[in-house]
Structure 1
Amino acid sequence: MKARIHIFYKDSVFDPQGNTVAASLKRLGFNSVKDVRMGKVVDVFLETKREEEARSEITKMCEKLLVNPVIESYRVESIEP
């Protein structure tokens, strides 16, 4: 089973990489760019076949290691067989 997790800075946290990318896009002529927020995508492959078990494990992984809850948020995009 595969789970895809999106991890990104909370809106209240300054995103230096996103800020740099936004400025670069504007310099390249993409003047409609208002803001850019950068993040990470993590694919985790699990041996379980039960979605509820996979979701529980992914939540624990995010809370214990993958996400810094002070500055980051996450969402599980999908869990696929």
Structure 2
Amino acid sequence: MKAYVYVTLKRTVLDAQGQTIADALRRMYQGVADVRQGKYFVLTIDDGLEKTAAEAEVARIAREVLTNPVIEDFSFRLED
């Protein structure tokens, strides 16, 4: 099973890198309103783990290791 974890800065946190990218894209292309940058992780989960247990474990890993909960949010999805 694969877990795809997306980590982004909270909306209340200034995203200087995202703003720089947005500024560059606006000069080069039409229609770009905003850019938020983040991190992306792919975790391979042991197939012996039940889906609900895997979801709980991935959420715990993301909360405790992959993010700084003061400034970052995360979301994830699982695929068989």
TM-score, normalisation: structure 1? 0.88
Who is 2:45 aligned against? 46
Task: Give deviations 1:17-61, integer Å, cap 9, x for gaps.
Answer: 110101111222x24222111111111101134111111110110
- How far is the alpha carbon of 1:68 from its aligned partner? 0.6
Moved over 4 A (4+): none
2:70 equivalent to 1:70:
yes
Q: Which runs of 5+ in 2 are unaligned?
A: none
Who is 2:16 aligned against? 16
- Larger mean Cα displacement after TM superposition, 15-24 or 43-52: 43-52
Question: Aligned partners of 1:49, 1:19: CA distance in 2, in Å?
Answer: 40
Question: Aligned partners of 1:6, 1:40: CA distance in 2, in Å?
Answer: 6
Percent identity, please: 34
Amino acid corresponding to residue 66 of structure 2 in structure 1: L
Q: How many residues get paired?
A: 79
Question: Aligned partners of 1:75, 1:53: CA distance in 2, in Å?
Answer: 16
TM-score, normalisation: structure 2? 0.89
2:36 equivalent to 1:58:
no
